[in-house]
Structure 1
């Protein structure tokens, strides 16, 4: 035993002699090793993009998006049902991913398609273009859209298509492509609306909060505290909704720029039934219009209740059933709409819309939940009013900061008038 102790002591003494040598051989200069001050340690410029683009380099995320039938069939239907827009057009696909939207545009008759992609999946997209015979029509451009220039003398495009919508709609911050759109050109989609309601979600609370109260007999509730600091991305069913749906932000993509997307919007939500409001829920509705004009304020998006409501085969003409082909042909007539003044407007083509709300079949965007630290008991007529602030995060431009201010007013039992609010609740969240 004594001999072993001597050997161990000798090893420690040798290590003590070697540490200075190891440090001097390290990649840091001597003065940096000796100092722990912030100024002495080299810092890299903040990088908001590497992780973001790396996450799009793998097949799994693209498979999820393409298999989202609401998302993919909406784009396919709009592109392939509107030859008057896409035939002989110059098209830009921002964040092309696997290139599927670029290939839809090429199939629809586009003269030239510029597919923009900053992640590693661009290599596979380029191969997809070749494998499908579109290499002469579709040109892949590697890089961020805000940093690129168009080749072959092109400066502007006729149509910009992009699946830029992130969680809560704004999460992915990709609306910096407007400089390439010619005057009178079209953005697809052309308009989005952020919507909100209150929901009762005991299963989400159990999974993310109360689960920690008793973990194999241990109290680990401290783990749940951070749940209230981050937005949750979940699928919520329509029967969880407690209130009306409220418009939070209307975004006319034809005109908006990224600097317009920091906003503060009021909301008034009224309970339509009794329950316990666990969270404010956000989702978005999306429209593809043929002329980029604003949709009427009372426009309702198409709600897909199930796979039967999502028609893809007739648009793609792949083993289409006769009744689906007939349905497609019947939808190709002129679009009849009313202007703000009530006059009827007739337009060519097919307009498309979809919703990511609880009333629709689930999409890969799901819904965004802001959990309340103190759930609110509501009865029919209870009013929750306040303001939602959203902005790009100062820490990471690919993330969002949100802050909710709200007050609760219950209806008087006898008069039904709203009683004064006792307090204003404020909560802050990260969307990342």
Structure 2
């Protein structure tokens, strides 16, 4: 419970995250006012309250953890119990009366998909969202790039090479590291791993994501591993051509709100996710780094991922 409260505090103190969601809800107020909203994974209920303040007729705030009880207290303290209904349970299990006009969710996990709730958002979309309804955020893109990080590598990796005379470096590579890096640490232009359209993506697509990359180093430096980060956008549904069975290619509107976790952008609690190598690899300026990455859901728990990297 203490750990849950710590995470909640960490998220609420993420000013970039919270202000972007608030601005997105206000930007789409015309789609929210007088409508029914479903908040998937509501936490303390802050996004539900933003929607109610934007004029939502009814908000269903759903969370499977005990934090739902705290959300209920927050809703009551803000005199919104007549419009916000807090439901303690998985969105896959709760009962909602009728369809909803809007789904809002802060579903993103580290590295976008690790411990994410995107599967629950997809379920809610297919079960309750009216045709033409709004999903916030609407789109997401996962990126990766090779990085050089000598100081941190020495601290977090070299330490394990000699622990009281024992080489335990394997411990350093069992899991990725969540850290903050700058643009100066990134060796190449970013590579797009996965583009997520929340209006159309399926659960099947999340089971395994594979991408091939061919990147050119912008400097001579030791390559210590790869970093992953993501952007999410808050747009309306993509329009389709009635005479075509295929959606029209989406282009980002000029006024699109974007929440970015990229290196060098304002800090968020997601930071960046780094996968370190056992040993650094020296690369030259303009040298090509070629390879592939596969992210696979764990069979034991589909919110966890196995990462397989190949590079040359």
In structure 1, the partner of 2:269 is 364
* Deviation for aligned residue 1:292: 4.5
Distance 2:311 2:159 in 1: 27
Count the aligned residue pairs. 297
* Deviation for aligned residue 1:279: 0.8
* Deviation for aligned residue 1:260: 1.1
In structure 1, the partner of 2:279 is 374
- Unaligned 5+ segments in structure 2 are 240-248
Structure 1 segments, 4+ long, off by >4 Å, are 292-295
Q: How does 1:27-106 map to 2 (within 5 A)?
A: 58-106=4-52
**Is residue 184 of structure 2 the alignment partner of residue 239 of structure 1?**
yes
* Deviation for aligned residue 1:89: 1.2
Aligned with 2:52: secondary structure?
helix
1:226-253 superposed Cα distances (whole Å, 9 cap, x missing partner): 2223111111111111111111111111
1:255-304 superposed Cα distances (whole Å, 9 cap, x missing partner): 112221121111122100110110111000110013346642xx5xxxxx
After TM superposition, the structure 1 stretch with the greater mean CA deviation from structure 2, 73-82 or 107-116, is 73-82
In structure 2, the partner of 1:252 is 197
Aligned with 1:105: secondary structure?
helix
Contact 2:181 2:264 in 1 (8 A): no
**Is residue 287 of structure 2 the alignment partner of residue 393 of structure 1?**
no
Larger strand proportion of the pair: 2
* Deviation for aligned residue 1:119: 0.6
Distance 2:160 2:310 in 1: 27
1:360-416 superposed Cα distances (whole Å, 9 cap, x missing partner): 122100111111123221111111111111111123222111101222xxxxxxxxx
In structure 2, the partner of 1:35 is none
Distance 2:93 2:295 in 1: 26
Say if 1:88 and 1:132 are closer, same or farther in 2 by CA, change over 3 A: same
Say if 1:55 and 1:279 are closer, same or farther in 2 by CA, change over 3 A: farther
1:126-161 superposed Cα distances (whole Å, 9 cap, x missing partner): 0111110110100011111122221xx32x211100
In structure 1, the partner of 2:288 is 383
Aligned with 1:221: secondary structure?
coil
* Deviation for aligned residue 1:85: 1.3
Aligned with 2:152: secondary structure?
helix
Which of 110, 114, 117 does residue 167 from structure 1 map onto? 110
Q: How does 1:33-432 map to 2 (within 5 A)?
A: 58-150=4-96, 153-154=97-98, 156-175=99-118, 176=120, 177-179=124-126, 180-215=128-163, 218-222=164-168, 224-261=169-206, 262-292=208-238, 295-296=250-251, 351-407=256-312
**Normalising by the residue count of structure 1, what TM-score does the alignment of the two structures yield?**
0.66
Contact 1:275 1:379 in 2 (8 A): yes
Distance 1:55 1:372 in 2: 33
After TM superposition, the structure 1 stretch with the greater mean CA deviation from structure 2, 243-252 or 286-295, is 286-295
In structure 1, the partner of 2:246 is none
Contact 1:392 1:399 in 2 (8 A): yes
